[in-house]
Amino acid sequence: MEKAKASELVLLFIDASHFVMGGDFIGHAYGKIRRYIRTFSGRMRYNVLGALNFATKQMTCVTNDTYIRANEVCELLQKLAVEYADQPIYIVLDNARYQKCKIVQETAAQLGIFLVYIPPYSPNLNLIERLWKHVKGRLRTKYYNSFERFKGKIDTVLSATENEDKKAIDRLISDKVQLFDNLLVVDDILLRVAS
């Protein structure tokens, strides 16, 4: 993280998020008065495979409305290799099958990109998860009557990470991550050594 802030390398956090139009809202709310809330009746999905630059908070994305697979990961790696040409690129990502398969690892090696896989069941170590929560929070504030407007809102929020929303994103994504330096493996279980 320190080297990324000093521009010695590019540190990116990669993950996919699947935004479902109409999937996160309820049709009515109860209280003293029963109120109906307009929601979209479909369940269309907008998939975003994003790479968040730790230092600049710039997003690079591959999107679709079908599925995220290894081909999309390879496409994103190629975009990143062009975008950050002549700079060492380190990518932190989880162990999703489509991100850890042979074709992705070979593509990364050919492009000179270093892949750093986080331990299983540790989504808190992939800082882009915080960005996905921020985007979903921004989506819940409005009714979308078309899938195009829904996708447009997501794209707008993602494009603002390095500009209008940079202060908010800087608070969400910083180097204040709890890391464990003193680790000991005991019977295939990782334990922290008290210092």
Predicted confidence (pLDDT) per residue in 68-110, tens digit: 999 999 999 999 999 999 999 999 999 999 999 999 999 999 9
pLDDT band at 173 (very low <50, low <70, confident <90, very high): confident
Q: CATH no. for residue 81?
A: 3.30.420.10
Q: Please tell me what DSSP assigns to residue 109.
A: H
pLDDT band at 179 (very low <50, low <70, confident <90, very high): low
Provide the residue range defining the domain that includes 185: 2-192
Domain count, the chain: 1
Cα end-to-end span (Å), the chain: 23
What pTM did the predictor assign? 0.79
Distances (CA, A) of 141 to 28, 169, 174, 179, 183: 15, 18, 26, 34, 43
27-69 pLDDT, tens per residue?
A: 444 456 655 555 555 578 899 999 999 999 999 999 999 999 9
| Runs of H (alpha helix) within 6-52 | none
165: pLDDT strictly greater than 80: no
| The predicted structure's pLDDT at residue 28 | 43
Report the percentage of the chain scoring pLDDT > 90.
46
20 SS3 class: strand
Q: Are 125 and 142 in contact (CB under 8 A)?
A: no
The token duo for 142 is 């409005």
